[in-house]
Amino acid sequence: MSCYNDFLEFASELTKFKSLIGLDLGTKTIGIAVSDTLWTVATPRETIKRKKFGIDCDALQTVFNSTDTGGIILGLPMNMDGSEGPRCQATRAFARNLSSRCDIPITFWDERLSSVAAERA
């Protein structure tokens, strides 16, 4: 399946009443959140300790299968000026590799200031 930079293109590929998965890709872990089938709320599910890509992908595939996943949203850690640094490049590379192993549409979500917002909540 494809990786989409445009959220509306991504949305056009989604199947109704399937969950969306949010992935927070770190260097040591992958945080996973799962939405309800109406896409109104996402709940933290688990954190996977990163190993090799193939092992990480197998662990993610288990989650995708158990939640009837219709789409994947990967957090994109952009710089405050809107530029993409090494972590963005690594996230995009991970998405490309993941898309070659699963048939689920993938998009990105700008994470700027998300940690600040979470701390204030």
The answer as to whether 114 is a domain residue is no
The answer as to whether 61 is a domain residue is yes
The answer as to whether 98 is a domain residue is yes
pLDDT at 17: 94
Which residue shows structure tokens 């995009």?
92
pLDDT at 116: 46
Q: How many other β-carbons are positioned within 10 Å of the β-carbon of residue 105?
A: 23
pTM of the model: 0.90
pLDDT at 115: 56
pLDDT tens figures, 30-41: 999 999 999 999
For the chain, the average pLDDT equals 92
The answer as to whether 113 is a domain residue is no
pLDDT at 118: 53
CATH number of the domain residue 16 falls in: 3.30.420.140
If one counts the domains in the chain, the total is: 1
The answer as to whether 118 is a domain residue is no
What is the 3-class SS of the chain, one letter each residue? CCEECCHHHHHHCCCCCCEEEEEEECCCEEEEEEECCCCCCEEEEEEEECCCHHHHHHHHHHHHHHHCEEEEEEEECCCCCCCCCHHHHHHHHHHHHHHCCCCCCEEEEECCCHHHHHHHC
Whether the per-residue pLDDT at 83 is higher than 60: the answer is yes
Distance between CA atoms of residues 28 and 40, nearest Å: 29
Range of the domain at 14: 3-107
The answer as to whether 119 is a domain residue is no
Look at residues 61, 53, 67 and name the one whose alpha carbon lies nearest to residue 25: 53
The answer as to whether 77 is a domain residue is yes
pLDDT at 48: 96
